[in-house]
Amino acid sequence: MRRSRFTSIWVLVILRSLLRSKRRTVLTVLSLAVSVALVAVLQSVLFTLDSFTTNPNSSNRIAVRHKVSITNLLPMRHAEWIRRQPGVEAVMGLQWFQGVYLDRSNFFPNFASEGEYITTLFKEEVVDYSEFQYRDFLRDRNGCLAGRALADKYGWKVGDVITLKSDIFPITVRLTLRCIFRSRKPSDEMGLHFHYKLLEEGVPYMKGRIGTLWVRAKSPDEVPRLIERIDRHFADATEPTTSETENAFQLNFLKMMGNYSAMIQSITAAVLVAILVVTANTMAMAIRERNTEIAVFRAMGFTGLQVLGLLMAEGVLLSVLGGLLGLGLAGLMAGGVRQTAGTFLPYLQDFMIPGEVLMFCLHATMGVGLLSTFIPAYRAIRRPIIDGLRAL
């Protein structure tokens, strides 16, 4: 009974101390909240991009490109040799088209593909579609296939005409949407595929040539052997190849944006240092104003460790309040990130604040509270009691 009453008194003392200067407390909590929200969003962006390059669904897939550069073309005859190899389930030619729909702000991935292989090669992504619609897509030379999220974004429905003007090729294609598919992730529903033959007929130098060949192995165990066999076979060809797993290919693609991981981690570190400085300044001011109160506590018989624990609890509570508010703010910002950044980077259509980031932010704010409070609190309890009582 005495212990619970003692605890209640300590809680009241901590709360009263935090409310001693309401404006300072509120401003500190708000600055912490904004900083934590920024850290949570940045770390979640990094988590989302990293998860895109560690996709377990891609363990059976290989991307084959020209050894010199991804912009160099491969002959389609390479695909015929690869299809004959043991352990190969499917091979599909895929060419990034970079078509513009209406205006350049409407960015989404669009490809010229060998349509008959899409549902086999990407069966983990194209998980739900109408067989009737898919047959219509295969029969229609000008047909295209798109994800549900992409169709909903622009209000498309089956039968609509979609015009894409390429930034890469001197061609504009008028496509008829014949099939809409669903996937497990929104980012996988942001793509559009049309028939590669349409690109071949419209761009003479693309006849029999393709940007990348995508290979689906029958099992993940076949992937290393297929990579070695393909590159060895075409090593002396006019168009040598570089084969890599899909995850490695996506990682190389993301690296074109620069070292985004180091940039995000640098910003995170800078924000955490700023949080530490702000909180340390607040706690130093709050403790300095209470030198007399601390001296009275010690004169009444409270030990230095008890007073230190009281002051540390105040700092941690202040930081945790700011951290929780910041995580709530980050949760509200997540939808905005998907709508805005997801327009330019389809990977971020899957953006969310994962549990790992939540725990990181909570631990970081608690650590900031402890670090920012310990030094001024320790100095306060080391101060002679008589010095604090002189102000009475």
Nearest residue to 346 (alpha-carbon basis) of 355, 337, 354? 337
Sequence-separated (6 or more) residues with CB below 8 Å from residue 325: 29, 30, 32, 33, 36
The reported pLDDT for the residue numbered 80 is 92
Lowest mean pLDDT among 7-21, 184-198, 201-215: 7-21
H or E segment and range at residue 312: helix 304-344
Starting at the edge strand that comes first in sequence, how are the strands of the sheet with 110-113 ordered? 99-100, 161-166, 172-181, 143-147, 192-195, 110-113, 88-96, 212-217, 61-66, 241-245
pLDDT in tens, 249-282: 777 766 666 667 778 888 888 888 888 887 777 7
Lowest mean pLDDT among 101-105, 229-233, 240-244: 101-105
Integer CA distances (angstroms), 101 to 109, 150, 156, 199, in order: 11, 12, 12, 17
29 and 81 housed in the same domain: no
197 and 129 housed in the same domain: yes
Q: How far apart are CA 354 and CA 40, in angstroms?
A: 9
**Res. 60 pLDDT band, cuts 50 70 90:** confident
- Please determine, for residue 166, whether its predicted confidence score (pLDDT) is greater than 60: yes
Residue 248 lies in a domain: no
Q: How far apart are CA 111 and CA 172, in angstroms?
A: 13
Q: Which domain holds residue 291?
A: 7-53+258-389
Residue 251 lies in a domain: no
Strands (E), the chain: 61-66, 74-75, 88-96, 99-100, 110-113, 143-147, 161-166, 172-181, 192-195, 209-210, 212-217, 241-245
- Please determine, for residue 292, whether its predicted confidence score (pLDDT) is greater than 50: yes
More confident residue, 349 or 273: 273
HSE on the CB side for 235, CA within 13 Å? 6
Residue 203 lies in a domain: yes
Identify which of 108-117, 315-324, 360-369 has the greatest average pLDDT: 108-117
- Please determine, for residue 331, whether its predicted confidence score (pLDDT) is greater than 60: yes
Mean pLDDT of 189-200: 91
Identify which of 153-162, 184-193, 296-305, 346-355 has the greatest average pLDDT: 153-162
Boundary-marking domain end, from 238, 272, 287: 238
214 and 132 housed in the same domain: yes
DSSP 349: G
Instruction: Compute the radius of gyration of the chain from its Cα atoms.
Output: 30
**What separation, in Å, do the N-terminal and C-terminal C-alpha atoms of the chain show?**
33
The reported pLDDT for the residue numbered 378 is 76
Lowest mean pLDDT among 72-86, 278-292, 362-376: 278-292
Mean pLDDT of 140-155: 91
Identify whether the C-beta of residue 112 lies closer than 8 Å to the C-beta of residue 191.
Answer: no
Integer CA distances (angstroms), 250 to 49, 69, 303, in order: 10, 15, 59
Q: How far apart are CA 330 and CA 354, in angstroms?
A: 11
143 and 79 housed in the same domain: yes
Residue 367 lies in a domain: yes
Residue 64 lies in a domain: no
Lowest mean pLDDT among 77-91, 121-135, 194-208, 248-262: 248-262
**Res. 5 pLDDT band, cuts 50 70 90:** low
**Cα 35–41–46 angle (5° rounding)?**
125
Tokens of 5: 């009453």
H or E segment and range at residue 198: helix 196-202
268 and 174 housed in the same domain: no
Q: How far apart are CA 279 and CA 360, in angstroms?
A: 18
Residue 62 lies in a domain: no
231 and 270 housed in the same domain: no
- Please determine, for residue 7, whether its predicted confidence score (pLDDT) is greater than 60: no
- Please determine, for residue 370, whether its predicted confidence score (pLDDT) is greater than 70: yes
- Please determine, for residue 1, whether its predicted confidence score (pLDDT) is greater than 50: no
More confident residue, 109 or 306: 109
Proportion of the chain in helix, strand, coil states, percent, rounded to 5: 60, 15, 25
219 and 115 housed in the same domain: yes
Identify whether the C-beta of residue 190 lies closer than 8 Å to the C-beta of residue 150.
Answer: yes
99 and 222 housed in the same domain: yes
Boundary-marking domain end, from 185, 209, 238: 238
Residue 200 lies in a domain: yes
Residue 250 lies in a domain: no
340 and 287 housed in the same domain: yes
Mean pLDDT of 344-352: 66
Q: How far apart are CA 214 and CA 73, in angstroms?
A: 14
117 and 220 housed in the same domain: yes
Integer CA distances (angstroms), 213 to 61, 82, 135, 230, in order: 10, 9, 23, 11
**Res. 97 pLDDT band, cuts 50 70 90:** very high
Q: How far apart are CA 200 and CA 204, in angstroms?
A: 6
- Please determine, for residue 3, whether its predicted confidence score (pLDDT) is greater than 60: no
Q: How many domains does the chain have?
A: 2
**Res. 362 pLDDT band, cuts 50 70 90:** confident
194 and 290 housed in the same domain: no
Lowest mean pLDDT among 257-261, 284-288, 331-335: 257-261
Boundary-marking domain end, from 207, 238, 269: 238
Mean pLDDT of 301-308: 71
- Please determine, for residue 334, whether its predicted confidence score (pLDDT) is greater than 60: yes
The reported pLDDT for the residue numbered 156 is 94
pLDDT in tens, 63-93: 999 998 888 899 999 999 999 999 899 999 9
As a whole number, the mean pLDDT across the chain is 82
30 and 155 housed in the same domain: no
Tokens of 368: 């900031």
Identify whether the C-beta of residue 44 lies closer than 8 Å to the C-beta of residue 351.
Answer: yes
Q: How far apart are CA 44 and CA 31, in angstroms?
A: 20
**Res. 302 pLDDT band, cuts 50 70 90:** low
